[in-house]
């Protein structure tokens, strides 16, 4: 029974997150901003990914199917992304003007989802311990995202976050320092998430 309740909570949170992102997208478009800009925020992409992963995990568990290692890898990637989203927001963006972002959506995407994804990972650890390849995959997506936003920003002059704007952080040297700091955060969070999940998996085995 508790498994069904937990999956219900997973599904409810995932659907709420999808609804929140849809609502914010509608506001974004109504103000005349490009849709591509909206989907260039790592917060939005990470929450979308996490919500889809939660839906998939909840559906599979509710249908009585055995967990799959591939699903655990996707969960690990989602958890790492979401935890870093929460950390970066708390350290770098808490006092930044968030424009038209609704307060309840802000709390959900930057606070509730990061915490919920980490709790879910610890409560339901991976079926089998994940190795170094999983850690590398957790770093690959953020690295690709950073390359995308920097290249697009150089071409269009628009960047999703103030710490990526060369003019605001002392040039590309300042951007590089922030990029290195965030990359180290991803590396450490990735290691911690996998280590905690693997330890829990061995404990429950």
Task: Report which of 23, 43, 63 is spatially closest to residue 149, judged by C-alpha positions.
Answer: 43
Contact 162, 168 (CB under 8 A): yes
Read off the pLDDT band of 202 (50, 70, 90).
confident
Buried b vs exposed e over 153-188: b needs ≥16 C-beta within 10 Å? beeeeebbbebbebeebeeeebbeebbeebeebbee
Question: What is d(CA 205, CA 193) in angstroms, rounded to the nearest whole number?
Answer: 18
Question: What is d(CA 183, CA 198) in angstroms, rounded to the nearest whole number?
Answer: 22
Question: What is d(CA 114, CA 120) in angstroms, rounded to the nearest whole number?
Answer: 10
74-94 residue pLDDT tens: 999 999 999 999 999 999 998
111-120 residue pLDDT tens: 999 999 999 9
Write out the residue range of the structural domain in which residue 97 sits: 2-204
Contact 179, 143 (CB under 8 A): no
The tokens 């919920």 sit on which residue? 116
**Structural domains in the chain (count):** 1
């Amino acid at each position: 029974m508790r498994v069904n309740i937990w999956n219900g909570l997973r599904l409810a949170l995932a659907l709420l997150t999808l609804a929140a992102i849809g609502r914010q997208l509608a506001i974004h478009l109504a103000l005349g901003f490009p849709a591509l800009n909206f989907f260039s925020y790592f917060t939005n992409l990470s929450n979308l990914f996490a919500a889809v992963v939660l839906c998939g995990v909840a559906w599979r568990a509710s249908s009585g199917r055995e967990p799959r290692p591939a699903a655990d890898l996707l969960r690990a990637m989602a958890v790492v992304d979401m935890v870093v989203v929460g950390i970066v927001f708390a350290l770098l963006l808490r006092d930044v003007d968030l424009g038209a972002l609704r307060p309840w959506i802000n709390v959900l995407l930057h606070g509730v989802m990061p915490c919920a994804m980490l709790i879910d990972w610890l409560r339901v650890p991976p079926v089998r311990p994940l190795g170094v390849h999983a850690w590398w995959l957790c770093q690959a997506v953020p690295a690709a995202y950073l390359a995308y936003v920097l290249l697009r920003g150089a071409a269009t002059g628009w960047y999703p976050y103030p710490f990526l704007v060369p003019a605001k952080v002392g040039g590309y040297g300042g951007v590089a320092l922030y990029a290195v700091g965030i990359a180290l955060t991803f590396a450490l969070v990735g290691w911690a998430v996998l280590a905690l999940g693997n330890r829990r998996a061995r404990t429950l085995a």
